Amino acid sequence: IWQTVWCEFVPAAGYITKLLPVADIKNNRVLIKPEANVLDRTEILQVNVVINVNQSKNCQFKNRISKTGSIGRFIPVKIPSECLLLWSPEEPSLYSLQAQLLNSKGEVVDSVDSYFAMREISSGFDDKGVPRPMLNSKFVFHVGTLDQGFWPDGIYTPPTDEALQYDIKAHKEMGFNMIRKHVKVEMKRWYYHCDRLGILVWQDIPAVVKQHPQSSAGEFLDEAERIVKMLSFHPSIVLWTVYNEGWGQPSDELATAAITAKLRGIDPTRLINSLSGINFNAVKPNYDIGVGSSIDIHHYPEPGRVKYNDFRFSVAGEYGGISYYIKDHSWDFKRCHGYGPDVESADKLITAYQNYQNQVGGTYTCVCIYINHSIIIISNKYGHHVSFWFSFSFSFSFCSNL
């Protein structure tokens, strides 16, 4: 067991199982969709949502806003304009939310405390007509790392909650505003900290390295749908990555277009990177299928170049991978590798990445560094890569001010 497990007592009549908040910043409102496991439908009738909007100094609305609606349907709640705080990595404002399950007498049967953010993710164009990813209708350059989420002792499991927070805080201290969670679904606690601390998350759909046999295509689609539905609560997640470097990607381009359309139908509020690494397209290398929000290239060690296409922004999806081996603070060195020349000091490592960082920008909108990603590869500790910002033991880290 590597995800969070717990037991709790729930009311016999029914209980709330999920809340899905969707921000509508253009209309100063949030839509809350409550879901519940109702065992006695003659008793449970409605859900009441209560929001505390008094989180801004300019907000004069002292009372909490309450609105009642039905289970499984969106409940719109208007937020006074003077109380509107938009979420961003610089100011990750969260509103507190309480949902109450009511019986036929109006009595509270179950109550859940939660939160939501007012933020909007979209594609748009800058003043030069270049397609860009937009956060709250403004272009934000995404620069982050490829984070495979491995740990030196628990492998998939972090040692403490503090360790989860440290990883995110260190990213921000080093100047990153994004993390690409690479082919791993984290525990919900990690996404909560991303929401709270303010970091943009690109979430990969895990896949096998080889192409899926036809018999397992349905299973991959089912898992992708469940991952999107499970994580769609979190405002920090701004982009879904369907396939990475052709891993598990069908050779039929219509299949990639179909799953992109399917996921966009489930979650129309986020961006989709249908294929991270167009140069590894399983249909044909360097072939642009033309779907999704972005066009993405991987190149090592220096960042590659790919031109934006119509309404889709360009991404240096992976680059870097320079090895810096620290004795007694790395995995088995004989089994480790990097994608570029080895360096012998932290200064040389930082200089190399700064040089690469100077090559990106312009029409690029997102970069992910493999540090083993602007994405630098690997932030934390995949055992068989040796180019990290943090050492495998977490005893060393390098602040590059990228």
Backbone angles phi, psi at 189, to 5 degrees: -60, -35
Domain assignment of residue 366, yes or no: yes
State whether 225 and 316 are in the same domain.
Answer: yes
263, 288: one domain: yes
Among 116, 141, 168, which residue terminates a domain?
A: 116
What is the number of other CB atoms lying within 10 angstroms of the CB of residue 227? 17
> 212 with 239, same domain?
yes
Over its length of 402 residues, how does the chain's per-residue pLDDT go in tens digits?
Answer: 668 888 999 998 899 999 999 999 999 999 999 999 998 877 878 999 999 887 667 777 767 899 999 999 999 999 999 889 999 999 999 999 999 999 988 999 999 999 999 999 999 999 989 999 999 999 999 988 899 888 888 888 899 999 999 999 999 988 899 999 999 999 999 999 999 999 999 999 998 877 666 777 888 999 999 999 999 999 999 999 999 999 989 888 999 999 999 999 999 999 999 999 999 999 999 999 999 999 999 988 888 888 888 889 999 899 888 887 777 766 665 666 677 778 888 888 888 888 887 887 666 666 666 654 334 333 443 444 433 455 554 444 443 334
Indicate whether 29 and 126 sit together in one domain: no
For residues 48 and 159, membership in a common domain is answered with no
Closest CA to 368 of 191, 144, 200: 144
CB atoms within 10 A of CB 402: 18
- Distance between CA atoms of 32 and 17, rounded to whole angstroms? 13
Within a domain: residue 397?
A: no
Q: Structural domain tally of the chain?
A: 2
Residue 383 domain-assigned? no
Whether 386 is in a domain gets the answer no
Q: Which two tokens stand for residue 299?
A: 């190149």
CATH (domain of 102) = 2.60.40.10
Q: Are residues 135 and 226 in the same domain?
A: yes
**One domain, residues 347 and 271:** yes
Note whether 149 and 36 are same-domain residues: no
- 276/150 Cα distance (integer angstroms): 21
Instruction: Determine, yes or no, domain membership for 148.
Output: yes
By residue range, what is the domain housing residue 327? 122-377
CATH label of the domain that carries residue 147: 3.20.20.80
